[in-house]
Amino acid sequence: MEHVTGLTLFERSTQGLAPTEHALSLLPQAEAVEAAVLAFEATVDGRTRSTTPTIRITAIGIAFSPRLAAILDEFNEAYPDVRFEFVPSEKVLDLCAGEADMAIRHALTVDDPRLIAQQISVTRSTLYCSQRYAARNGMPHGPKEFAGHSFLLYVPGSGAGRFNEWLKSWVPAEQVVGMLPDIPSMIVAVRSGLGIGPLPAAMAADVPELIQCFEAPPEGIAPTWLVTIPEAHKRREVRAFADFLAPRYTDRIGSR
């Protein structure tokens, strides 16, 4: 400081340092500078800690559809301070480990007692083929008419679950012409006319080239859950979004 100002600010002796008249005269300005710096640091720290509320949602990738996007847009009109972070995954993420705040899951039950689960819809899955496939081969109206047709299945562990297992029990291995890892790739394969494949009705409805072979069997019907954990549910924005999403998901994305 003395080097910068060119002034002697302290007298040095064997007893230590003593402020000079120059130092004493500059003390009010120095204190003002210190106060300004501390105020600046407090402002920066406060803004860093008061970050925009963010809700992290996980679901299978295709669940982040235009219909869901429209619901999120409506919520943001009412709550413009809330942001969303999407975590698409074919696997069930661990909400208790902080991998997401909220999940949309398709399962018969949600058994983990640590979770808060609300049923928001029923997912219906059945078999679909393309118009071209139907024109060339016809289409089955039930399992007893599967003979002579080509089928597409999901690979084991893809999360397809009970309906995929039901289909495997009816279709001989020699009639399986492809194994797909997820719903988007299944839509592409069925749409191309490669074979008949299982799809959720709500998602197949968005592809006009596809034809439903028959109504969803009991094995193709499963609840859709909105799942969170108590820690996340305590947050105002999470509770508000759960209340906002549930009825709209049922009306616009749910059972068809």
Give the pLDDT score at 206: 86
3-state SS, residue 230:
helix
Sequence-separated contacts (24+) of 157-163 with Cβ below 8 Å: 158/90, 158/182, 159/60, 159/90, 159/91, 159/92, 160/198, 161/106, 161/107, 161/222, 162/108, 162/219, 162/220, 162/222, 163/125, 163/198, 163/217, 163/219, 163/220, 163/222
| Predicted confidence pLDDT, tens digits, the chain (256 residues) | 544 445 565 676 665 566 666 556 656 666 665 565 555 555 544 444 446 799 999 998 888 888 899 999 999 999 999 999 999 988 889 999 999 999 999 888 999 999 999 999 998 999 999 999 999 999 999 999 999 999 999 988 655 678 999 999 999 999 999 999 888 899 999 999 999 999 999 889 889 999 999 999 999 998 999 999 999 999 999 999 999 999 999 888 875 4
Give the pLDDT score at 47: 46
Residues near 92 by beta carbon (within 8 Å), at least 6 away in sequence: 103, 105, 159
Instruction: Give the residue ranges of DSSP H helices in 111-193.
Output: 131-137, 162-170, 183-191
Query: What is the rounded distance in angstroms from the CA atom of residue 102 to the CA atom of residue 86?
Result: 10
As separate numbers, helices (DSSP H) first and strands (DSSP E) second, the chain gives 9, 11
Instruction: Give the residue ranges of DSSP H helices in 157-235.
Output: 162-170, 183-191, 201-204, 230-233
Give the pLDDT score at 37: 53
Give the pLDDT score at 28: 67
pTM for the model stands at 0.69
CATH architecture type of domain 123-221: 3-Layer(aba) Sandwich (3.40)
Domain ranges of the chain: 2-49, 123-221
